[in-house]
Amino acid sequence: MSSKRKNRILGVVLAGGKGERLMPLTKYRAKPAVHFAAKYRIVDFALSNLVNSGIFSIYVLVQFKSQSLNEHIERAWQFSGALRGRDFFTTLVPAQMWRGEHWFQGTADAVYQNLHLISLFRADQVCIFAADHIYKMDVSQMLDYHYAKHADVTVAANVVPTSEASQFGCIKTDNSGRIMEFVEKPAVPPEIPGNPGFSYVSMGNYVFNREILEDALVADAQQPTSHDFGRDIIPGLVAQKAHVYAYDFSTNRLPHFEYESEKISHWRVDKPYWRDVGTIKSYWEAHMELLSANSEMTLYNPLWPIRTVSFADPPSYSYPSEGHACISDQVLQAEGSRILGAEVQKSVLSRNCAVLPGAKVEESIIGQGVVVGKNCRIRRAIVDSYNIIQEGTIIGEDPEEDAKKYTVDPKSGVVVIGMPKIRYQKDIDEKTLDSFSWSSFS
């Protein structure tokens, strides 16, 4: 993290996405509030990046189905005591319909409708970051690059094979990194100068000089555009010959402990990571990759922690029960999760869930407060929060039967069981649930 920066930096996190491609996980919550890696929410990654980078002034713009997201931000991300003040805050900003009876009309419109907050803060630079990806990066290094290039705008650019780039917003640069063209999902993506076979794609993260941002948003608001940073604001500034540069995300470096022993250092090396989890397939795959011993991302770097709210939950626990051995292999377990005489392999267990005797869970994501009943078999599934899977249920073995009862993702075959309809707590078997928490429903 750079320690030489003296400019006023404001973080703006775009957290209003619907996440329609993640249905039914987004039936009761916004996409940034979707759970990830047993104990986190997707929004925690964007906020952790900013705070770890020394950016402590943050507005979080929310919109659709935001209640659980609001509660999470209030519990996990508030400064307290002497730190709270004008330059130390994480403040929720709901859609307030400044421009009429409608929601935010695009990412740029979301910021435009709250432009007064940016102006009153008197920021020198504004970091506008997306809250709907899983990523780790030191934002201060992007800011240092922005200053070194005397840029008006800097766009975070991920390096991907050209054959995969057409599904993203693509960036064409010259040899200095200056953006010459910004195109959405081109059939023939431009290659990186000096790096054939690879292309820059936009990560949806930007650093703006405040004056440039204000002028661009005011001008865009008067035009019949989609009011989107990637489709309108950035291409417009490039066309106006503004100094718009691409920051090569692959050059980012994260701090980590270094040991003389290679065996130990293998578990401590950390590096930048970015993953789009906008579909059921990519969301499930990101979890499965996380469970691998050679995963590209680690959650265990104390010098770059992923921060979230802490609850007074008991420790996770595993033990044999009712004559069944307890088998756990490649399992990520959050607080309060229990494996009771069951077999769990390559799976994620969220807070306060339980897998009961004789059950077998493979390559699955089990949500908060879920109870997997005795002798169940669950494979390649996502079970959202507070579901009670009845004894002997089989999921993930017969696609036709699964499709009759649940959502089956057509691209991956992953079975998704959405959150149950809200019902009275008295209808639930208290002996089965015993001490599970019912707070923060979604």
In this predicted structure, what is the pLDDT of residue 329? 96
Task: Please write the tens of the pLDDT for every residue from 239-294.
Answer: 999 999 999 999 999 997 766 555 554 555 788 999 989 999 999 999 999 999 88
Closest to 102 (Cα-Cα) out of 66, 67, 63: 63
**In this structure, are strands 40-41 and 57-62 parallel, antiparallel, or unpaired?**
unpaired
User: Do the domain assignments include residue 162?
Assistant: yes
Residues 30 and 164 in one domain: yes
Query: Is the Cβ–Cβ distance between 380 and 364 less than 8 Å?
Result: yes
* Mean pLDDT calculated for residue range 186-201: 94
In our burial notation (b when 16+ CB lie closer than 10 A, e otherwise), range 229-265 reads bbbbbbbbbbeeebbbbbbbbeebebebeeeeeeeee
In the three-class reduction of DSSP (H, G, I as helix; E, B as strand; rest coil), residue 71 is classed as helix
Residues 229 and 352 in one domain: no
Paired strand residues for 37? none
Contacts of 47 (CB under 8 A, 6+ apart): 13, 58, 60, 77, 90, 131, 307
User: Do the domain assignments include residue 438?
Assistant: no
Percent of the chain at pLDDT > 90 equals: 72
pTM of the model: 0.90
Q: Is 385's pLDDT higher than 50? A: yes
In this predicted structure, what is the pLDDT of residue 442? 67
In this predicted structure, what is the pLDDT of residue 16? 83
Cα–Cα distance, 318 to 373 (Å, whole number): 16
Residues 247 and 328 in one domain: no
Q: Is 85's pLDDT higher than 80? A: no
Pick the last residue of a domain from 223, 251, 279: 251
User: Do the domain assignments include residue 270?
Assistant: no
* Mean pLDDT calculated for residue range 295-313: 92
* Mean pLDDT calculated for residue range 57-62: 95
Query: Is the Cβ–Cβ distance between 344 and 327 less than 8 Å?
Result: yes
| Cα dihedral 318, 322, 325, 326 in deg (nearest 10) | -20
User: Do the domain assignments include residue 305?
Assistant: no
Least reliable range by pLDDT among 143-147, 157-161, 228-232: 228-232
In this predicted structure, what is the pLDDT of residue 79? 77
**For the residues of 85-116, what is the DSSP string, one character each?**
BTTBEEEEEE---TTSSS---SHHHHHHTTHH
- Count of domains forming the chain: 2
Q: Is 316's pLDDT higher than 80? A: yes
* Mean pLDDT calculated for residue range 87-103: 75
Residues 23 and 152 in one domain: yes
Residues 243 and 344 in one domain: no
In this predicted structure, what is the pLDDT of residue 440? 45
Of residues 353 and 426, which shows the higher confidence score?
A: 353
Residues 228 and 322 in one domain: no
What is the H or E stretch that residue 317 is in? Answer: strand 317-319
Closest to 56 (Cα-Cα) out of 37, 80, 26, 31: 80
In this predicted structure, what is the pLDDT of residue 429? 46
Q: Is 299's pLDDT higher than 80? A: yes
User: Do the domain assignments include residue 286?
Assistant: no
CA 164 distance to own-chain centroid: 21
Q: Residue 90 has which token pair?
A: 């994480």
Residues 140 and 24 in one domain: yes
Query: Is the Cβ–Cβ distance between 69 and 62 less than 8 Å?
Result: yes
User: Do the domain assignments include residue 260?
Assistant: no
Residues 329 and 403 in one domain: yes
Residues 230 and 337 in one domain: no
Residues 65 and 147 in one domain: yes
Residues 242 and 325 in one domain: no
Pick the last residue of a domain from 195, 218, 251: 251
The CATH number assigned to the domain holding 346 equals 2.160.10.10
Instruction: Using only the alpha carbons of the chain, give its radius of gyration.
Output: 23
User: Do the domain assignments include residue 303?
Assistant: no
**In this structure, are strands 273-276 and 133-136 parallel, antiparallel, or unpaired?**
antiparallel
Residues 51 and 198 in one domain: yes
Q: Give the Cβ contact number of residue 77 at 10 Å.
A: 21
Task: Please write the tens of the pLDDT for every residue from 115-133.
Answer: 999 999 999 999 999 999 9
Of residues 184 and 51, which shows the higher confidence score?
A: 51
User: Do the domain assignments include residue 31?
Assistant: yes
Give the structural domain span for 342.
Answer: 317-433
Pick the last residue of a domain from 251, 274, 296: 251
Q: Is 425's pLDDT higher than 50? A: no
Place of tokens 């994501």: 365
The CATH number assigned to the domain holding 200 equals 3.90.550.10
* Mean pLDDT calculated for residue range 330-341: 97
* Mean pLDDT calculated for residue range 46-60: 96
